[in-house]
Structure 1
Amino acid sequence: MSPSQDAPLIELKGIRKAFGQNVILDGLDLSIRKGEALAIIGPSGTGKSTILRIIAGLLAPDEGEIYIQGQKREGLVEDAPDPVGIGMVFQQAALFDSLNVYENVGFSLFQHTHLSSEDIQNLVDRKLDMVGLPGIGDRFPAQLSGGMRKRVSFARAIMENPEDVHSRPEVLLYDEPTAGLDPIASTVIEDLIRNLQCNEVGCSTYVMVTHQDSTIRRTADRIIFLYQGKVQWEGQVKDIDTIDHPMVRQFFNGQVEGPIQVAK
């Protein structure tokens, strides 16, 4: 039976994750619908990046269930393919320093396909054009600015395998995509995130972890506020300045005093 049009694209039910005695996620429920631009916000150390890694299939929860397009995931991403492609852009870009841009972006194709080097180069060139970096395939990560490295990691995340029709990423996961960038470079990345959502590559849905006010306002439609392993509030970006939720107000106003406990 095919999933209902109204069914979530991704659904987390009762997710619990602890590292030693430190409970990071405590019975988390989360639904993500196709075409949604979702931002996960909250204080540092509350499990936001952990959620992304669980969605990506890179980390298994201790308890709970994960459904991708209505299909229950068993194990990690390498154990069985998900019904939709999920790509992840890591906070530090996570490029291989010893490989040039061409080799970084085409890495999965070199590893998992029988494509010729010429075919891979054409695919890489197409992705680099999409992220606004044409003609840099022969450069190494050390030769790139922070914003350029981020965009190269975007190109890698949206790379599909033409030998596998299911490899095209439907969902992109962004972990602090504008962290450490100046305001202009951040704007470039924010615009790129929105442009990729509207592009033909298929990445119409994304989930983002961010602390940056401009990134939240310019790239998200819906927000969930995470604290103490649970969703404490969810709403629309337009609600940010009018909502009277004390945690949300404390977070956006940068106040030390409030219900969010600040480490001193």
Structure 2
Amino acid sequence: MISLSGSRLLPLGLSSNSPRRVGFSVPRKSGLDSRCSEQRNVVCGCMAPPTNLRSDGFSATRHNDPSKVGNFSIVREHKDDSDVLIECRDVHKSFGEKHILKGLSFKIRYGEAIGIIGPSGTGKSTVLKIIAGLLAPDKGEVFIRGRKRVGLISDEEISGLRIGLVFQSAALFDSLTVRENVGFLLYENSNMQEDKITELVTETLAAVGLKGVEDRMPSELSGGMKKRVALARSIIFDTTKDSIEPEVILYDEPTAGLDPIASTVVEDLIRSVHTKGEDALAKPGKIASYVVVTHQHSTIQRAVDRLIFLYEGKVVWEGMTHEFTSSANPIVRQFASGSLDGPIKY
């Protein structure tokens, strides 16, 4: 399934720090051959046909006893699961003797803007890689549009939903221009004419607030600009297809290392490409749902609507963003206040 020739997969984030290296070979139709022949890490989209998608919002998820640190009984207020795009059910993951995820369960619904937060080392980035198909859980199940994924993304082909992972480091190809980075998928794996790809790249860059940078190299960009180029690469798609699947984008620490102003720009751009927003060209966003892993309070406030709090490898609290600072859960309260006193120890 990860053979990109003729596939419906979408490579988004490419990084030498990714835990899985995948080699592939596809026919070239641009001048990228000499600079892109090495093995690459590939983050792809997959999944099952969408049915009965709706965007009617969602209710906060509450826990019956917020005074306890252990497992919480979760009361879900949804009448049905017809709008669930992705579900993690009792997911466990260990690396050697270190147990990272210990029975994690949650759902991502159509139209949601979700933030995954929690102390460092609690498995937030690991969750994204499991959802994206770069890691397989040791135990538990991942469902994509109601269909169980078995193994990694290359183990079986499921169509109907694209999943993109935007890495914390932006993960641009240093040897390619901005145009070649953003249009990489289309140059490598589409039947679009090169001038059409160039036009679409320019339009997509403009949608994330970048103009006139197509011929620059990544080394000539600021940190915030690199993040925006990575975002443009994640949302570009082949416009010649008869139908375009809905897309879920996973952002791993998108504002890490940025100053407050650059962070605000990226946070607003994440909002703008969502189905409920408008991009920099004042066009409706096309991203069905997104998930942001973050430690930044500004990102929590500006970029997401619902929060999932992880602690010791489990979901210990879920709720709307405005409920975060007023939660009675001692773990959440300590994290929100930054206090040294509480259950979280370093």
Provide TM-score, normalisation by structure 2.
0.72
Deviates more, 1:104-113 or 1:225-234: 104-113
Q: Contact 1:160–1:169 at 8 Å: present in 2 too?
A: no
The structure-2 alpha-carbon separation of the partners of 1:246 and 1:166, relative to structure 1 and needing over 3 Å to count, comes to farther
Partners of 2:232 and 2:245 in 1: how far apart? 12
Q: Contact 2:181–2:233 at 8 Å: present in 1 too?
A: yes
Residue pairs, 1:1-264, within 5 angstroms: 3=51, 6-7=80-81, 8-79=84-155, 80-164=157-241, 168=245, 170-197=247-274, 198-199=277-278, 200-262=284-346
Q: Contact 1:161–1:168 at 8 Å: present in 2 too?
A: no
Q: Contact 1:158–1:168 at 8 Å: present in 2 too?
A: no
User: How big is the shift at 1:221?
Assistant: 0.7
| Amino acid corresponding to residue 100 of structure 2 in structure 1 | I
Deviates more, 1:191-200 or 1:122-131: 191-200
The structure-2 alpha-carbon separation of the partners of 1:46 and 1:151, relative to structure 1 and needing over 3 Å to count, comes to same
The structure-2 alpha-carbon separation of the partners of 1:27 and 1:59, relative to structure 1 and needing over 3 Å to count, comes to same
Partners of 1:239 and 1:148 in 2: how far apart? 32
Q: Contact 2:248–2:288 at 8 Å: present in 1 too?
A: yes
Partners of 1:165 and 1:52 in 2: how far apart? 29
Q: Contact 1:68–1:82 at 8 Å: present in 2 too?
A: no
Partners of 2:159 and 2:96 in 1: how far apart? 29
User: How big is the shift at 1:204?
Assistant: 2.7
Partners of 2:245 and 2:270 in 1: how far apart? 16
| Amino acid corresponding to residue 85 of structure 1 in structure 2 | R
Partners of 1:196 and 1:183 in 2: how far apart? 20
Partners of 2:269 and 2:239 in 1: how far apart? 23
Partners of 1:2 and 1:215 in 2: how far apart? 29
Gaps of 5+ in 2: 1-48, 54-79, 279-283
User: How big is the shift at 1:167?
Assistant: 5.7
**1:67-106 deviation line (CA, Å, top 9, x unaligned):** 1111222232233244211111110000011111001011
Q: Contact 1:158–1:201 at 8 Å: present in 2 too?
A: no
**Which has the greater radius of gyration?**
2
The structure-2 alpha-carbon separation of the partners of 1:11 and 1:143, relative to structure 1 and needing over 3 Å to count, comes to same
| Amino acid corresponding to residue 196 of structure 1 in structure 2 | V
Higher strand proportion (structure 1 or 2)? 1
Higher helix proportion (structure 1 or 2)? 1
Partners of 1:77 and 1:25 in 2: how far apart? 20
User: How big is the shift at 1:162?
Assistant: 3.1
Deviates more, 1:249-258 or 1:146-155: 249-258
Aligned residues: 262
Q: Percent sequence identity over matched residues?
A: 54
Provide TM-score, normalisation by structure 1.
0.94
User: How big is the shift at 1:121?
Assistant: 0.8
Deviates more, 1:192-201 or 1:149-158: 192-201
Partners of 2:322 and 2:285 in 1: how far apart? 28
Deviates more, 1:132-141 or 1:4-13: 4-13
**1:220-260 deviation line (CA, Å, top 9, x unaligned):** 11101101110011111111221121111111111222101
User: How big is the shift at 1:50?
Assistant: 0.6
User: How big is the shift at 1:65?
Assistant: 1.1
**1:26-56 deviation line (CA, Å, top 9, x unaligned):** 1111111100011000011110001111111
| Amino acid corresponding to residue 156 of structure 1 in structure 2 | R
Partners of 1:29 and 1:56 in 2: how far apart? 16
Partners of 1:77 and 1:110 in 2: how far apart? 22
Report the aligned-residue RMSD: 1.8
| Amino acid corresponding to residue 52 of structure 1 in structure 2 | L
